[in-house]
Structure 1
Amino acid sequence: MPHPHPDSDLSAVRCGVITVSDTRSPKTDKSGKIIQSLLSEAGHEIAHYEVVRDEPDEIALLVRELAEQENIEALLLNGGTGISPRDNTYDVLERIIDKILPGFGEIFRQLSYEEIGSRAIASRAMAATYESTLIFSMPGSSGAVRLAMTELILPELRHLVKQLSGKS
């Protein structure tokens, strides 16, 4: 699908990648590796990568710390977006964000519905801003990560970061 206004500035976006999981490690984190690989292939920089337990205080602390770093313009989280008792990412982000980008979650769920059917309603994927940092939060499954990255995040990442910085 064509973009309404292609990005003329192809500079790298400096990204932090966070996997929220009680069971994954950097060695077993397939979704985190997919995010990093797709970002790198698109010419973006991985400024930080970490696996954090699905504990609200740990997630909030890490998001705040990374968002305050000048070398990070966007945070990409995966995991913890469902409705089980241990899924805390959405709830944590909802408490600390400045602005939500509702279109990301809406379109992601529509695209997911086309792939997995009605189970897409359980996804609490979201995009938001916190201070001057763009945040994307995706489910932890590899298929969901690949869908979000290729169809929504990568096509708009530079543009959204530029808008948030006030340089557009």
Structure 2
Amino acid sequence: MDPSIPFIPLDIAVLTISDSRTEVDDTSGQVLVQRIEQAGHRVAERRIVKDDIYQIRAVLSQWIANPEINAVVTTGGTGVTGRDGTPEAVKPLLDKKIEGFGELFRMLSYEEIKTSSLQSRAVAGVANATYIFCLPGSSGACRTGWDRLIEAQLDHRTRPCNLVMLMPRLLER
């Protein structure tokens, strides 16, 4: 962190992908909202959709097209069961995939949950200058993903580099 560089708050949307969660019991979405706000960013929007690739794509497409949303963090649907379809929904929308995100996430998860980490298909990428991070649906996975990967990359003060430096919409202001 370079404290001489000013913090730039981002507008981040949170999408929970679940066939069973509601706003009342969406603990993973709440973890992300709390962490985003504690970091000094704004929650631009929060939604819950069924684990259906077309519903996921519909919401993400709106957010990707919205120049006011800088990033999206999703939770859920990254496993290997029949209904888990987040990677399949998201990948066609990406202009570029951030290959290292899933690799690092699984490495960090291995420290906590050992070989169960191989069941995660966490992915990230950029679409229309909007960064998208797809995390598993557990609260622990959301804490690991935000605390150990996403937060630093969405902080302009992180050195030697961060994703904010690469956000053309944000740096045009």
Correspondence for 1:13: 10
Q: Which amino acid aligns with 2:90?
A: L
Matched, 1:117 2:120: no
Report the Cα distance in structure 1 between the residues aligned to 2:94 and 2:137, rounded to whole angstroms: 20
**Which string of whole-angstrom CA distances, capped at 9 and with x for unpartnered residues, describes residues 31-61 of structure 1?**
0000000000000000100001111110001
What SS is found at the alignment partner of 2:126?
A: strand
Correspondence for 2:28: 31
Cα gap change, 1:71 to 1:123, in 2 (>3 Å):
same
Correspondence for 2:40: 43
Structure 1 segments of 4 or more deviating over 6 A?
A: none
| Ranges in structure 1 where 5+ consecutive residues have no aligned partner | none
Report the Cα distance in structure 1 between the residues aligned to 2:51 and 2:165, rounded to whole angstroms: 31
Matched, 1:58 2:55: yes
Correspondence for 1:70: 67
The normalised TM-score by structure 1 is: 0.93
CA contact (8 A) 1:78 1:140 kept: yes
What is the CA distance between 1:11 and its match in structure 2?
Answer: 1.4
What is the CA distance between 1:6 and its match in structure 2?
Answer: 6.9
What SS is found at the alignment partner of 2:25?
A: coil
What is the CA distance between 1:66 and its match in structure 2?
Answer: 1.0
Report the Cα distance in structure 2 between the residues aligned to 1:153 and 1:7, rounded to whole angstroms: 21
Correspondence for 1:133: 130
Return the match for 1:92 from 62, 68, 89. 89
Report the Cα distance in structure 2 between the residues aligned to 1:7 and 1:64, rounded to whole angstroms: 36
What is the CA distance between 1:9 and its match in structure 2?
Answer: 3.3
Report the Cα distance in structure 1 between the residues aligned to 2:4 and 2:86, rounded to whole angstroms: 30
What SS is found at the alignment partner of 1:119?
A: helix
What SS is found at the alignment partner of 2:12?
A: strand
Q: Which amino acid aligns with 1:45?
A: R
Correspondence for 2:142: 145
Q: Which amino acid aligns with 1:46?
A: V
What is the CA distance between 1:94 and its match in structure 2?
Answer: 1.3
CA contact (8 A) 1:134 1:161 kept: no
